[in-house]
Amino acid sequence: MSGAASLIGAVVFVAGIGVVAQLLADRLQVPSVAFLLVAGILVGPQGFGFVDPAQFGQAGLQAIVGLSVGLIVFEGAFHLTAERVREASREALGLVTVGAFVSLAGTAIAVRFVFATSWPVAVLVGSLLVATGPTVITPIMAVVPVRERVAAALETEGIINDVVAAILAVATFEFVVADGASPLVVVEAFLARLLVGVVVGVLVGGAVALLPRYVSLSEDNAGQNARLVVLTAALVAYAVGSSLLSEAGIAAAAVAGVVLGNADIPHEADVAEFKGGITVFVLSFVFVVLAALLSFSDLRALGLGGVVVVVAVVAVIRPLGVALSTIGGSMSVRERVFVGVMGPRGIIPASVATLFAIELRPTNPQAATVLVGTVFLVIFATVIFQAGLARHIAQGLDILPTQTLVVGAGRVGTELADRFEARGEEVTLIDTDQAAVERVRADGYRVVHGDATDASTLESADADRAGVVVAATADDDVNLLVAQLATTRFDVDTVVARANNPDNVEAFRDLDVETISAGFAVADAIDDAIERPALSHWLADAGKTGDVLEVELQNESLADQSVDTLTDALPEGCLVAMVSAGGEDRVPDGDFVVSHGDHLTLVCETNTAMQSARRVLRGD
């Protein structure tokens, strides 16, 4: 077989293995990185020998990995919106500063004294292991639905620390290979690459964001053209940054992603979906190739010392860094413990360590062994154990919030989902129609494809932790069966069913299910529009401006306080309109004293105020 044909065969085989690993991981709801690493080892020279990364050549491998990392970082940064960062601004800031420093210093100290290596090599390993990365965090968050503030903190940390780790590692590597160089070389190299990356990223991202104002995209292919322009922007940012300074391209791609993700670009949903698909494919390919490069001799050479370093990184350094960086934030103690446990490493340390080891091995084989062996041991341990057990850990810590389950992804179901999401609640939809599932999933909702009258489908949608189940299909028989399962099998507190035929209302009520008759609901809405027009119009806009919120008072510090005192603790724009307790509803005055467990009905002017009020009253 010719060299070109052999190379093409290797590329196709690796891509196919990567896609299979992704599909398997998606089916088992386990982060795909674990399967990709195992697949790479099995097909590589250390396994069955189907793929030899040497076929790509050192320069070719560096180019492939570099461009792939640029796309992956761009993809993660594209979703790093200002609103998302604000969800966990205090914790995210701590994780990318204090947490990153503790990780760097702690890992370097462990490597230095366990392996008796030089400080520059120890700092190089520590620099790489600062990175957690969106390639491993995002899949975990997809299958472990923790509160938004926890997910936002972990994903923000992953995106920013990926960039910081890559640039810092390159700067440190220059110090390692330059005998007698001053430590200032590291600082200068880091700042230079960061500055170049920021400037290039802002220029490229800003230019693409402004492009639609001056250049009209073809109306027939506007969505496709927008996708191609954004993808090209990611590649251009990386290429220009890397051409100016090595590894500055990673920072440039990340900054360009942040700029475009926060800009009002046309067809943003189409762009995000397309870009996500490209990233999944690229990630699959690169992880398999890098894992195929791994040598078991490097891992064996570390011996017991490798296990000691892994335990130190996972069980001591990461929890310590998280504990220090989240002091004074809004996370509960259990959520902080979860974040401390979740520190999986991904594509950045794997790719950069592999490339550095190739360069180091001829002149400093011991340093190359320590570098690649330690990095891959930590990757294996954190990906397989932390990522693989993430859901069980979250369940054990009892930090998975209750969710609202909506059966039926039609107009009624999606409108309800929009309103619940606007209130900051977690929503999962279920539908049997594949087209409806894909449509709603493209809008960013978690959707389960299946028949909700089957208990196994409800189980896969986590009905066991649902606080509310809404049966909102156009079929009353389906709604009745869903309501019955939710009430009897899953013991859901609140079950609401849509009755399309008024004659079926009594059958629903016999199950003690809150029932909404479609015909009566329309009549009520018309009556409200006539008799209470101001209130009707305000409620019609609920989710855009503000809303009415009912929440149980669980914050012990606010129990046995007057309504005036309670109102002072609430965000501005929230009013306590009613207090429900013991089957009685009261419109309270300022002196009325609320108790733990009372249900408070609030009127809030904005969604932000409503979400903050919910957290205050729950004591989150």
Q: Average per-residue pLDDT in the chain?
A: 80
285, 171: one domain:
yes
- Give the model's pLDDT for residue 30: 65
359, 410: one domain:
no
393, 408: one domain:
no
Give the CATH number of the domain where residue 212 resides. 1.20.1530.20
Report in angstroms the alpha-carbon separations of 176 from 66, 134, 210, 363, 438: 21, 28, 42, 11, 50
- Give the model's pLDDT for residue 78: 78
337, 255: one domain:
yes
DSSP state of 558: G
| H/E element, 546 | none
Which is nearest to 587 in space by CA: 597, 568, 600? 600
| Cα distance between residue 340 and residue 313, in whole Å | 11
407, 360: one domain:
no
Which is nearest to 163 in space by CA: 210, 211, 196? 196
296, 383: one domain:
yes
pLDDT average, residue stretch 517-527: 67
- Of 397, 429, 456, the position where a domain reaches its end is 397
Which is nearest to 294 in space by CA: 95, 37, 551? 37
> Would you say the C-alpha torsion 402, 406, 409, 410 has a positive or negative sign?
negative
251, 159: one domain:
yes
439, 494: one domain:
yes
Contact 93, 118 (CB under 8 A): no
What is the domain range of residue 592?
A: 546-618
- Of 348, 370, 397, the position where a domain reaches its end is 397
Residue 1, pLDDT above cutoff 60: no
pLDDT band with cut points at 50, 70 and 90 for residue 273:
low
DSSP state of 219: S
Residue 431's SS3 state is strand
330 against 256, higher pLDDT: 256
Count structural domains, the chain: 3
209, 353: one domain:
yes
- Give the model's pLDDT for residue 199: 93
CB within 8 Å of 255: residues ≥ 6 apart: 77, 197, 198, 200, 201, 202, 205, 237
142, 258: one domain:
yes
Note the pLDDT tens digit of each residue in 174-233: 777 766 556 677 777 788 888 988 899 999 988 888 876 666 655 666 667 777 788 888
In a domain, 26, yes or no: yes
542 against 547, higher pLDDT: 547
Give the CATH number of the domain where residue 470 resides. 3.40.50.720
375, 461: one domain:
no
pLDDT average, residue stretch 547-564: 83
pLDDT band with cut points at 50, 70 and 90 for residue 86:
low
Note the pLDDT tens digit of each residue in 348-403: 888 788 778 877 888 888 888 888 889 888 988 888 788 778 888 888 887 877 78
- Give the model's pLDDT for residue 49: 78
Question: Which tokens is 175 given?
Answer: 């110090």
In a domain, 540, yes or no: no
In a domain, 108, yes or no: yes
Residue 283, pLDDT above cutoff 90: no
In a domain, 189, yes or no: yes
188, 321: one domain:
yes
Length of the chain: 620
Q: Which of 469-478, 526-535, 554-563 has the lowest mean pLDDT?
A: 526-535
